[in-house]
Amino acid sequence: MFALTPGQPVEIGSGIWRLLALNPGMMSGPGTNTYLMADHDGLAVLDPGPADSRHVDNILRAAQSLNMPLTRLLVTHTHRDHSPAVALLRSHCRGPVIGPPILDDPLQDDSWAPDVVLADGEQIDLGKLRLRVIATPGHVSNHLCYLEENSGLLFSGDHLINGSTVVIAPPAGSMSDYLRSLRRLLDETISHIAPGHGDLILDPVLTIEATIGHRLAREEKVFQALNDQPDSLPADLVALVYNDVPTFLHGVAAFSLDAHLIRLAELQRAVRTEDGRYRPA
């Protein structure tokens, strides 16, 4: 079902196509999913992807084959695998660039310059499709999801991806925010999820609940590791906490471990000492 061929638009719903970018990798899975959506007299592009002219050409070719001009560019968040193609597509688009506010953080796309900054609850009228913005800080603080209200399809960006867990890298990422944003989605009526990476998620409630459960189980493992090895630096705990994860992922896992430790300190279950070590409270 999942198109592993970049450049081939796949219709995933009425007036909604997915176009896979050419950036497979450890962090991006099969690659970034760009979504094309029927708009008034054209096509809105959600998460145009990395600054890769081949993918930009594929987007333009897809729009041409659908005979729809680009009307607006939307973004879930401004990591470099999601938004930099905006700068390359802007001159090909007749409408505005809309999405999250600019975030001052070294992991962000520094070319991001929205015409319109969106806030939680805003509606975007695309004609037959209607998007509602759901602010979902956590993976990163400026992250937005978009719920298509007629079908219940949620465009989840990197809040939820198919195939793995997402990295939470402080300070722009926050585990407490992430859990809060996941729980908030349980209040919405979501039929299925179109993630930023991987295939459609067809069991949204189960997936969201499992993701929350997975994070809380990891949190307990971090707490246990702190008890076993008090006064540790975060780097000393990675191998212990992620002993179920291949070692080549430990470098990335260290970011999420940091996020867990910060959350344990917020919950007053752990104490951070002046030299950056953690111990149980």
Report the nearest approach of Zn ion to the CB of residue 252 (Å): 12
* Complex with Zn ion: residue 148 or 158, whichever CB lies closer: 158
Binding of residue 79 to Zn ion (CB under 5 A) = yes
Binding of residue 197 to Zn ion (CB under 5 A) = no
* Complex with Zn ion: residue 71 or 78, whichever CB lies closer: 78
Of 141, 143, 131, the closest CA to residue 188 belongs to 131
Q: Tell me, letter by letter, the H, E, C secondary structure of 75-137.
A: CCCCECCCCCHHHHHHHHECCCEEECCCCCCCCECCCCCCCEECCCCCEEECCCCEEEEEECC
* Complex with Zn ion: residue 109 or 158, whichever CB lies closer: 158
Helix (H) or strand (E) holding 18: strand 16-20
Report the nearest approach of Zn ion to the CB of residue 139 (Å): 6
* Size of interface with Zn ion, in residues (CB under 5 A): 2
* Distance, CA of 247 to CA of 58 (rounded, Å): 35
Binding of residue 158 to Zn ion (CB under 5 A) = yes
Count of Cβ atoms closer than 10 Å to residue 185 Cβ: 23
The answer to whether 239 and 245 are in contact (CB under 8 A) is: no
Binding segment for Zn ion (CB under 5 A), chosen from 50-58, 74-82, 93-101, 184-192, is 74-82
Binding segment for Zn ion (CB under 5 A), chosen from 50-58, 151-159, 240-248, 271-279, is 151-159
Report the nearest approach of Zn ion to the CB of residue 29 (Å): 12
Binding segment for Zn ion (CB under 5 A), chosen from 7-15, 58-66, 91-99, 152-160, is 152-160
